[in-house]
């Protein structure tokens, strides 16, 4: 029996703001949005066709709120792979996504770092 990572948690300040960005701006699919209580929801999103999803968790309490946008100590936390780097980059830039640098070519592929509205860093990457 094979194994794979099915989901990774992303802590955000607000469910709907995260859905607006990831689904509305980046074009991810909203896989599930189930109300669990008055304050908690089970929200899963993923890029179209992806095997691994993000579970969006709304921060609760001081330590979780403090971790929003810095869940990986300021390093890139997530990698959005594309097969058409230039088109994807241009579409994201035109949609108002914040890039922290200019696109560059590395030995492993074309890459550019972008930030979500909460401060989490992502690589947009097209492997060579």
For residue 96, pLDDT over 90 is answered with yes
Q: How confident is the model at residue 105 (pLDDT cuts 50, 70, 90)?
A: very high
For residue 18, pLDDT over 90 is answered with yes
Other Cβ atoms within 10 Å of 7 Cβ, number: 13
Q: How confident is the model at residue 48 (pLDDT cuts 50, 70, 90)?
A: very high
Other Cβ atoms within 10 Å of 64 Cβ, number: 15
Q: Which residues pair with 113 in a beta bridge?
A: 123
pLDDT of residue 2: 87
pLDDT of residue 71: 86
Q: How confident is the model at residue 65 (pLDDT cuts 50, 70, 90)?
A: very high
Q: How confident is the model at residue 3 (pLDDT cuts 50, 70, 90)?
A: very high
Q: How confident is the model at residue 34 (pLDDT cuts 50, 70, 90)?
A: very high
Residue that has been written with the tokens 């979780």 in this structure: 64
Separation of first and last alpha carbons in the chain: 31
CA dist., res. 86 & res. 56, Å (int) = 28
């Amino acid at each position: 029996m094979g194994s794979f990572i099915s989901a990774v948690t992303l802590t955000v300040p607000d469910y709907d703001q995260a859905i607006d960005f990831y689904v509305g701006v980046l074009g991810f699919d909203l896989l599930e949005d189930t109300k669990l209580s008055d304050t908690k929801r089970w929200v899963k999103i993923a890029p179209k066709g992806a095997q691994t999803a993000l579970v969006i968790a709304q921060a609760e309490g001081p330590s979780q709120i403090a971790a929003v946008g810095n869940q990986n100590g300021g390093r890139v936390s997530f990698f959005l792979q594309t097969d058409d780097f230039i088109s994807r980059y241009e579409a994201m830039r035109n949609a108002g996504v914040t890039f922290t640098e200019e696109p560059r070519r590395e030995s492993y592929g074309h890459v550019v770092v972008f930030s979500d509205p909460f401060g989490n860093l992502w690589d947009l990457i097209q492997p060579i």
